[in-house]
Structure 1
Amino acid sequence: MAEFTTEQIRNLAVLGHTGAGKSTLLEALLFQGEAIAQKGRVDKGTNHADFTAQEKDHRHSLEPSFLNLDFDNHHINFIDTPGLPDFFGRALLPLSGVESVLLVINAATGIETITQRAFEAARAQGKVVLIAINHIDGNGANLAGLLDEIQTKFGHRCLPVNLPNAALDDVIDCYLHPQPELQGEALFHDVASARDELVDTVLEEDDELMALYLEQGENLTPEQLHAPLETALRMGHLVPVCFTSAEQQVGIGALLELIIKLSPNPLEANPPQFIKGQGESALPVDVTQSSEDHALAYVFRVAIDPFFGRMGVFRVYQGTISLGMKLFIGDGRKPIKVGNLFKLQGDKQVSVTSAVPGDICAISKVDELTVGAVLHDSHDEDEFHLPELVLPQPIFGLAVSAKRRGDEQKIAEVLNKLVVEDPSLHIAKNEAEGQTILQGQGDLHLQIALEKAHDLFNVDMETDVPAVAYRETITRSATARYRHKKQSGGAGQFGEVELTVEPLPRGAGFEFVSKVVGGSVPSQYIPAVEKGVKEAMNGGAVAGFPMQDVRVSLLDGKHHSVDSKEIAFVMAGKKAFLDAVQEANPVILEPIVEMQVQVAQEHVGDITGDISANRGIICGTQAQGNGKVEVEVEAPLATVDDYSTRLKSLTGGDGQFAMTFSRYDVVPDHVQKALVSAAKAH
């Protein structure tokens, strides 16, 4: 492969709702850049981004995939991402490795659930956003109306950098190469006005250039505007909007030029904030992005193959990573050797000898690689890390168990591999029911994980609907004292504690504070009291569900010079805590989810009626402009954990929904009584 400098590299994650045409758009870009001789098709399973057997079977992108092309003396790395709501967590992983997001919107269906969430996530991480309105020749497309909708939802700084012509077979440049002679050929809007809006927005970032423009009325070139343009993009003060038809190759050359000339190179973008250390001692550190400094790279994608081992895709942030060099992983003391170094082009591995700052490459056969790992060649970068990526909370769960006797250990290993590949999957234990729970974003998310366990790792699992992840907490403060005393002829046990329990804000977790003075509870036994409290919290005090959002303050106690030992204070802490909780009005909490349900207008009444009948709340409705209506809902997870099946029944399969965790809330009295009765019967 040709060698490129950091300034010549562009990195973009391609995000958008399913059906927007992300993979098809990438085929068109690869074809335009002569990286492929013929475009593949998603419906035929021949496109380069969706190459796994699962993706070919399901006709959807299910994993991040990597493509690149060289064009006009630049190297562009693209990361295709899933657009299905169940896989939004996977779609977020590449954001740690790019400067820019190409947000693709279907011209006919407009802004959808993942469109909104992707835009918000990209801006929250300081990424430059470029919007591509695709399928401009699709039935029902209202391009002027969609641009208005984008500006309403994402801000008035979403400005067109080109416009479709009336025939929808070309686009007219409004910024890089203004074409005043084509002024009247745009399908809508005004080319000159569009350019003026862009220039005015960019000039707001540079007072001197603004003054020159106002005083002399100079016709500023894109080169003069480049520096303030990059500032506007970084700050989110400008979001360029362009128009494409990937199927017909319309606007693709213009998009490729926009990527090179508008999207920032790694030196121009918002730099990531690396951190050294943990907790209160953690300090921010800056990276130089110089190819001559110590090597520093961040792993944001891991894939595990039963034959080829573990592969990690990383972004180089500093220094140069070369074939044969030794690297440390995180705080590990034993280095690994870079035995192979390559770039991914769909399912192909293209060997390279080195990777400079800004580039995205991969290594394989390294079992220690995980998402979030930092690779470095010097112990000066020990304890370096990026802030943890916030992924969507798991919503759905399946209890999984071995289908074949003796496979229990194998299942545990495979589940761990699935989570290493996809951190938006979680494994939880329901101790009360003795269940292992695989948790994810929805039915399809879990189905795909189980398919992968079978197809790649030859493991079959029995599945069952798990218990809802209820929690317990308290609603007022209370104090209790308990003495644990045991004498059986030999050495005895003695420990006495007094403690107070207080409710914490929802989501605060657990706090343990020692207020003991005078040594009434010796310092070596205070951790034992906390251990006893935690054991009691895990087992619950009402119906056996784990407790949360509680502060426990150890106030006082007694000890015995001979009989006091750790187990005595563990038991005393546990019993005192349970006694205090009973006086603190304990309640059961249930997970509440937010849902966006998209259905045809004629089904709205059925949807709202069903939600209301199942303790849900209708928060609002919004017309989507495509004959669909989005119903915004809050509901207890316990009443919608089978919603995929219900929605199909209510709409005849013509509906979709996205669900995200919102919070824990107190269950109604009748629900608490039923849960307590069930726990006692069990």
Structure 2
Amino acid sequence: MVDRANGAPRPADIRNVVLVGGSGSGKTTLVDALALAAGAVNRVGRVEDGTSLSDYDEIEQRRHRSVQLSVVPVWWGGVKVNLIDTPGYADFVGELRAGLRAADAALFVVSAADGVEGVGGASRALWEECASVGMPRAIVLTHLDTAKADFEEMTQTCQALLGGGSAENVLPLHLPVYGPASADGHRPATGLAELLEQRVADYSTGERSWVPGSPGDEALIEQARDRLIEGIIAESEDETLMDRYLSGEKIDLSTLVTDLERAVVRGSFHPVLFAAPAAGEGRQGLGTVELLDLVTAGFPTPSEHQVSAVRPADGSEPVALRCDPDGELAAEVIRTSADPYVGRISLVRVFSGTLHADDTVHICGHGLGAGHDADDRIGGVTAPFGKEQRPLDEAVAGDIAYVTKLGHAETGDTLSGTASPLLIEPWRMPDPLLPTAVRAHSKADEDKLSHSLGRLVAEDPALRVENNDRTGQLVLWALGEAQRDVALERLRSRYGVSVDIEDYRVALRETFAAKSAGRGRHVKQSGGHGQYAVCDIEVEPAPEGSGIEFVDKVVGGTVPRQFIGSVEKGVRAQAARGVTTRYPLVDVRVTLVEGKAHSVDSSDAAFQTAGALALRDAAAQGRIDLLEPIAQVAVRVPDEHLGAALSDLSVRRARILGTEPAEAGRTVIRAEVPEAELAHYAVDLRSLTHGIAHFTRDYLRHDRLPAQLADRARNGSARTPG
């Protein structure tokens, strides 16, 4: 059945479960508590060197926050359960989406200590992430041991905010059983009542034991059990079951359990459970055993997770991947990391076939970089366990494992057989919309900066690096400040590269506000062959998008024909450099009207210089406007925050085009906003709407910059206008 020594179970004996929840909800502690209950560790939250199983990265330990996906496998009842811990902070939604791709079901973790606020905007956004990919999920309440935790209130809150207002598809499987009140009146939960089985489990000794329920709890348990049974029957595929139940027929327990499991797998029913870690070594936390039982008995197997691929070579129809260890190989890189001793390490989910150490595989990607259509040889195959890697002979379909030595593989790439490669469509990554301009701290850092940033982006595709040739800045784009700070910290600690942060600048442009004229005179005589060129030009505004239009109206040959092109070259070169600032000149018509030449001293170089001088002279005689880039923005915002979002946009000099309804409870605001005003908008919008709203942006055009801001730009203000 299961070869635990080799770590190669059958697909039917694997469960891939992602833990999803807001930052501080208790996901990492729950992973450790489940590992303790399953016997994987002997102390909650600790392995031999004293670190947490999930948050073992140095940055995570310093920040006391998960910043990357991690996998902890445990065994329960002959089933391998891969617990996938994900960050709860919005900046790391890319890691969450990777975890959703790797998993077949989710435990949605909510802190009961946070009350109604614990199921606020951030939790709803995470719930919608799960729903968008059809992820089956159960709700786990944590922190029930705190004084203000109220199980019934939290269940009702979950029903209202996560169940779409329905109390029928979000129902508890267990009720907490409380011990004697302490001196401050707090009654800690010491056990639970299983509603379907109608029995009480006591955890007060650190091990689960069955005890008789108290008479005072029987009515409460019976009432909750009736609601649970009605909820299960409402989701049953047997349409006669409800009539039979309402007529007084007693429904067999096995039928209820089967229908419950099917409804959970379909994602139409979300059971509510609770769990708490135990204090002391070798103790089972409250509800951890029941949670493991639900995962192994009620959650879908990898075979029920349908994934398809295509063959890029022939552009054929999608290929449905079968979760069969003997099938053709198809695996996906879920995340990429680097080890100073091992090199690049790829965490992969195997959807079909079997991965062996030293296999040669084909790496196929979506054009994100070099090496995305090449063969490469795997080094080792290992099982993740905290920061440890335990050697494996193979990883079968349905399992998750590390592979080493794939120097070209990046997050989202597909590994398949070399004979007929496959490509799995990667999960959608959010657009990074927070720019940070960086420069190397020293010459030694400069030599390594580009390569190191490339490796960071290979590890985390939610980051983007841009070399902006208009502003001359190197820009790191992130989802938020936390992701940016972690990336810069990794850059320093992992790759030994230090950077300085600059004020981000947008790419301004110049244009003429009205018609002007200028003369360029380049005359030099220093013995021998001299330089002589004179040209007169007229400059006027041209339609938007026309760039630089050059017109020749010379009469009488005052500028010889062979030097007309030289003047144009000089004009265009000066326009690219700008005439009053460092920003390029655009959308003007330059007309060459006359000039002077010398039979010996005139040359191509002389007339290029004269053309540039003429354009600068015209700018000095006329009025130059600065143009700023304008973005077309769509902001998807909860209705309750619509007014605040509109007010905030108006402060940002936005032109509101209108609003339109989106999905229930959401509105889309469409606006045109100066790009300078969007530099910090990703962070500000998240703060304004408690993490629920998001926006998209696309370059639209350049518009004239208001005079006051234009003066600041001309006076050399380092800060971006706006």
Q: Give the TM-score of the pair, scaled to structure 1.
A: 0.71
The superposition leaves residues 346-387 of structure 1 with CA deviations (integer Å, 9 ceiling, x where unpaired) of 10001111111110011112211111111112432x24222x
Amino acid at match of 1:152: A
Q: Does 1:433 align with 2:471?
A: yes
The equivalent of 2:378 in structure 1 is: 338
Q: Distance in 2 between matches of 1:209 and 1:607?
A: 49
Partner Cα separation in structure 2 for residue 482 and residue 638 of structure 1: 25
Please tell me the root mean square deviation across aligned C-alpha atoms, in Å.
4.7
Structure 2 match to 1:458: 496
Which of 628, 631, 646 is the aligned partner of 1:589? 631
Paired with 1:545 and 1:187, the residues of 2 have a C-alpha distance of 80
- Comparing 408-417 and 73-82, the one that deviates more: 408-417
Distance 1:62 1:645 in 2: 17
Is the 1:393–1:660 contact (alpha carbons within 8 Å) kept by the matching residues of 2? no
1:336 alignment partner AA: D
Change over 3 Å in CA distance of 1:361–1:41 after alignment to 2: closer
Note if 1:58 corresponds to 2:68. no
Q: State whether residues 171 and 228 of structure 2, in contact with CA within 8 Å, keep that contact through their aligned partners in structure 1.
A: no
Cα 1:176–1:672, aligned 2, differ >3 Å: closer, same or farther?
A: farther
CA contact (8 A) 2:108 2:140 kept: yes
1:241 partnered with 2:272:
yes
1:402 to 417, 440, 443: 440
What is aligned with 1:161? 173
Q: Distance in 1 between matches of 2:384 and 2:36?
A: 17
Q: Secondary structure at the match of 1:116?
A: helix
Deviations 1:432-470 (A, max 9, x none): 211111111222211111111111110001111313589
Q: Which residue of 2 aligns with 1:265?
A: 301
Pick closer, same or farther for the CA change 1:657–1:373 going to 2, 3 Å: closer
CA distance in 2, matches of 1:176, 1:478: 74
Change over 3 Å in CA distance of 1:62–1:586 after alignment to 2: closer
Name the counterpart of 2:152: 144
Distance 1:481 1:38 in 2: 68
Q: Aligned equivalents of 1:467 and 1:665: distance in 2?
A: 15
Question: In the TM superposition, what are the counterparts of 1:3-402 in structure 2 within 5 Å?
Answer: 3-40=8-45, 46-109=51-114, 110-155=118-163, 156=166, 157-167=169-179, 168-175=189-196, 184-185=216-217, 190-203=223-236, 205-207=237-239, 217-222=249-254, 224-225=255-256, 228-246=259-277, 249-267=285-303, 269-277=304-312, 283-330=317-364, 335-380=375-420, 382-386=421-425, 388-402=426-440
- In 2: Cα distance, 1:136 partner to 1:615 partner: 47
Q: Tell me how far apart the structure 2 counterparts of residues 480 and 638 of structure 1 sit (CA, whole Å).
A: 24
Greater shift after overlay, 286-295 or 668-677? 668-677
Residue pair 1:275, 1:284 contacting (<8 A) in 2 also = yes
Determine helix, strand or coil for the equivalent of 2:226: helix
Counterparts of 1:481 and 1:212, CA distance in 2: 77
2:720 equivalent in structure 1: none
Matches within 5 A, 1:488-503: none
% identical aligned pairs: 25
Structure 1 residue 324 displacement after superposition: 3.1
How far apart, in 2, do the equivalents of 1:25 and 1:391 lie? 27
Question: 1:206: how far off?
Answer: 3.3
The answer to whether the aligner puts 1:661 opposite 2:666 as a matched pair is: no
Q: How does 1:614-653 map to 2 (within 5 A)?
A: none
Q: CA deviation at 1:95?
A: 1.2
Give SS of 2:96's match.
Answer: helix
Change (3 A) 1:375 1:609: closer
2:21 alignment partner AA: G
Distance 1:254 1:461 in 2: 49
- The Cα of 1:297 is off from its aligned counterpart by 0.9
**Number of residue pairs matched by the alignment:** 565
Does the 8 Å CA contact 1:393/1:661 hold for their aligned counterparts? no
Partners of 2:333 and 2:411 within 8 A in 1: yes
Higher mean C-alpha displacement, 82-91 vs 435-444: 82-91
Structure 2 counterpart of 1:194, one-letter code: R
- Counterpart amino acid of residue 405 in structure 2: K
Q: C-alpha distance in 1, partners of 2:324/2:133?
A: 23
Structure 2 CA distance for aligned equivalents of residues 106 and 546 of structure 1: 56
- Structure of larger gyration radius: 2
**Cα contact 2:506–2:629 (8 A) shared by 1:** no
Deviations 1:137-186 (A, max 9, x none): 22322322222221122222122122212442222222366669668528
Which whole-Å CA distance do the structure 2 matches of 1:354 and 1:80 have between them?
A: 23
Gaps of 5+ in 2: 180-188, 201-211, 280-284, 366-371, 510-542, 553-559, 567-575, 577-582, 588-626, 659-667, 717-722
One-letter code aligned to 2:286: V
| C-alpha contact (below 8 Å) 1:394/1:661 kept by paired residues | no
